[in-house]
């Protein structure tokens, strides 16, 4: 709606004003996409809702406001002329938009980075109502009928909508907004005007209108969040993805009571639930297993030294000769879901950790045999770095056969345990020499 048109409406409406304002007209910008963090490049859906608070009048006659984006800290902004596409919803709001109503550019005119004078008015001046002859000297619009009661009720009236980011609507946040800056899409203070119909004469078709007190409600806050999309940092996670647990599986020669029951997973950013702020819990981590057997249950989840590290515990040692995969379903502080590329087989995936359990398979060839003793000795004696055989550079991840937490020259009993594993001497449960994984790495 252009300035000249607004002036004409305000003048014509003020001429018939008889009573002082009683009501209050509140306008809010509300998101309709369920909320969540909005960062650079994202789109959000919204509607702009007007609400007459007390219903003592006969409804909205006219409204107009300017839209802008303000930043905190100040200095940068968003061009609403390119970022926002919205429309009037079908229904009574048509009566405010040309040609039914009084407006030139109902969704606002781009001036600088702002949209100014969005809105319009109903045909309360009885100019060429629908179905009636319009003399040539009359303007082409407004020409609609007048709807009563617009803006009443608990829901008010939707003045504008931008309901589908996938189509030509919504607010698309520019990709170059300043990281760390918070932006608010709002009605410009002092720009909201509205009149209401206070009474009308059915016979004459005349309407008495009256200005109302206006209140600018909420806007939409976005930006401010520049955390990266979560991914697991495999080099730091313990165990790292692709680890073969080669240590002993039993404490007594019969019970399968020894093995990994915890993992410390490192991420490239702080991780949370989908809201970007709640602490992760057992629902954010799940285990799967090759072989189709029953999987361990996650029993505890907690943060490590900071919120980039999560410690996941489960209820029993991993299944022997199978791969167990820990899946992380976590979100960044911006609410972005962890990258999920699916199963990439032997390659590391950004959202999961694969762990195998094969006693004696020190060199991680997925079978236990004579070369494992050779590699065991090479690592103990420092002849070959353990990282040559897998994803970890921690020797104990390969040769701490008795799970004492120490290995190498400081724990000669690991060699004894290794020999027991290979030869099937208690406390191992079977001869592991010649054994292999049942399935390839998922
Ligand atoms: Ca994998
Ligand atoms: Ca091996
Ligand atoms: Ca040891």
Measured in Å, residue 439 CA sits from the centre of ligand 2 at 15
Q: Can you say whether the dihedral through the CA atoms of 8, 10, 13, 17 is positive or negative?
A: negative
* Residue carrying the six token digits 């602490």: 279
Measured in Å, residue 72 CA sits from the centre of ligand 1 at 43
pLDDT of residue 17: 44
Question: Minimum-distance ligand to the CA of 406?
Answer: 3
- 179: pLDDT strictly greater than 80: no
- 164: pLDDT strictly greater than 90: no
Question: Minimum-distance ligand to the CA of 356?
Answer: 1
Domain boundaries, the chain: 3-223, 243-423
Across 64-78, average pLDDT:
93
Residue 2: pLDDT band (50, 70, 90) is: very low
Q: Edge-to-edge strands of the sheet including 309-314?
A: 262-266, 309-314, 298-303
Measured in Å, residue 358 CA sits from the centre of ligand 2 at 9
DSSP state of 416: H
Question: Minimum-distance ligand to the CA of 440?
Answer: 1
Measured in Å, residue 54 CA sits from the centre of ligand 3 at 78
pLDDT of residue 27: 97
Across 358-375, average pLDDT:
98
DSSP state of 418: H
Query: What are the tokens at 412?
Result: 């000669």
For residues 130 and 95, is the Cβ–Cβ distance under 8 A? no
For residues 342 and 234, is the Cβ–Cβ distance under 8 A? no
Measured in Å, residue 129 CA sits from the centre of ligand 1 at 70
Measured in Å, residue 325 CA sits from the centre of ligand 1 at 8
For residues 259 and 280, is the Cβ–Cβ distance under 8 A? no
For residues 368 and 377, is the Cβ–Cβ distance under 8 A? no
What is the C-alpha separation between 308 and 286, in angstroms, rounded? 18
Measured in Å, residue 397 CA sits from the centre of ligand 3 at 10
pTM of the model: 0.58
Question: Minimum-distance ligand to the CA of 362?
Answer: 2
Measured in Å, residue 264 CA sits from the centre of ligand 2 at 25
pLDDT in tens, 209-268: 999 999 999 999 988 776 889 999 999 999 999 999 999 999 999 999 999 999 999 999
Measured in Å, residue 427 CA sits from the centre of ligand 3 at 15
Measured in Å, residue 398 CA sits from the centre of ligand 2 at 11
Measured in Å, residue 227 CA sits from the centre of ligand 1 at 25
Q: Which residues hold their Cβ within 5 A of ligand 2, which is an ion?
A: 361, 363, 365, 372
Measured in Å, residue 364 CA sits from the centre of ligand 2 at 5
What is the C-alpha separation between 73 and 76, in angstroms, rounded? 8
Measured in Å, residue 324 CA sits from the centre of ligand 2 at 18
pLDDT in tens, 291-330: 999 999 999 999 999 999 999 999 999 999 999 999 999 9
Out of 1.20.120.160, 3.50.50.60, 1.20.1250.20, 2.60.40.1220, the CATH code matching 243-423 is 2.60.40.1220
Question: Minimum-distance ligand to the CA of 397?
Answer: 3
pLDDT of residue 3: 40
For the chain, the distance separating the N- and C-terminal CA atoms, rounded to the nearest angstrom, is 61
């Amino acid at each position: 709606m252009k300035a000249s048109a607004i002036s004409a409406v305000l003048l014509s409406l003020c001429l018939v004003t008889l009573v002082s304002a009683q009501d209050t007209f509140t306008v809010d910008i509300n998101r309709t996409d369920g909320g969540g963090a909005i960062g650079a490049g994202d789109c959000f859906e919204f509607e702009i809702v007007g609400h007459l608070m007390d219903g003592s009048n006969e409804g909205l006659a006219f409204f107009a406001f300017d839209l802008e984006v303000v930043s905190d800290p100040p200095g940068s902004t968003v061009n609403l002329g390119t970022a926002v596409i919205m429309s009037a919803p079908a229904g009574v709001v048509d009566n405010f938009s040309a040609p039914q109503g009084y407006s030139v550019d109902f969704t606002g005119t781009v001036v600088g980075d702002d949209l100014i004078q969005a809105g319009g008015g109903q045909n309360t001046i009885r100019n060429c109502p629908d179905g009636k002859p319009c003399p040539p000297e009359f303007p082409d619009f407004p020409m609609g009928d007048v709807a009563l009661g617009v803006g009443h009720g608990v829901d008010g009236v939707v003045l504008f909508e931008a309901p589908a980011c996938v189509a030509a609507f919504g607010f698309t946040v520019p990709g170059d907004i300043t990281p760390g800056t918070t932006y608010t899409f709002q009605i410009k203070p002092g720009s909201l005007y509205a009149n209401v119909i206070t009474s009308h004469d059915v016979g004459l078709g005349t309407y008495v209108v009256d200005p109302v007190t206006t209140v600018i409600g909420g806007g939409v806050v976005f930006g401010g969040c520049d955390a990266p999309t979560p991914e697991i940092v495999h080099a730091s996670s313990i165990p790292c993805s692709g680890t073969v647990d080669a240590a002993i599986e039993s404490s007594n020669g019969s019970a399968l009571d020894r093995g990994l029951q915890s993992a410390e997973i490192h991420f490239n950013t702080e991780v949370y639930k989908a809201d970007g702020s709640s602490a992760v819990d057992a629902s954010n981590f799940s285990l799967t297993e090759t072989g189709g057997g029953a999987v361990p249950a996650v029993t505890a989840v907690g943060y490590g030294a900071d919120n980039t590290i999560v410690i996941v515990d489960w209820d029993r040692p991993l299944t022997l000769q199978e791969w167990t995969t820990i899946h992380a379903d976590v979100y960044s502080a911006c609410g972005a879901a962890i990258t999920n590329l699916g199963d990439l087989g032997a390659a590391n995936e950004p959202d999961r950790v694969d762990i195998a359990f094969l006693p004696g398979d020190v060199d991680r060839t997925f079978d236990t045999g004579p070369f494992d003793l050779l590699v065991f000795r090479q690592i103990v004696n420092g002849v070959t770095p353990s990282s040559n055989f897998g994803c970890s550079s921690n020797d104990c991840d390969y040769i701490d056969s008795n799970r004492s937490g120490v290995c190498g020259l400081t724990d000669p009993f690991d060699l004894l345990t290794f020999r027991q594993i290979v030869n099937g001497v208690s406390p191992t449960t079977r001869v592991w020499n010649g054994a292999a994984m049942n399935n390839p790495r998922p």
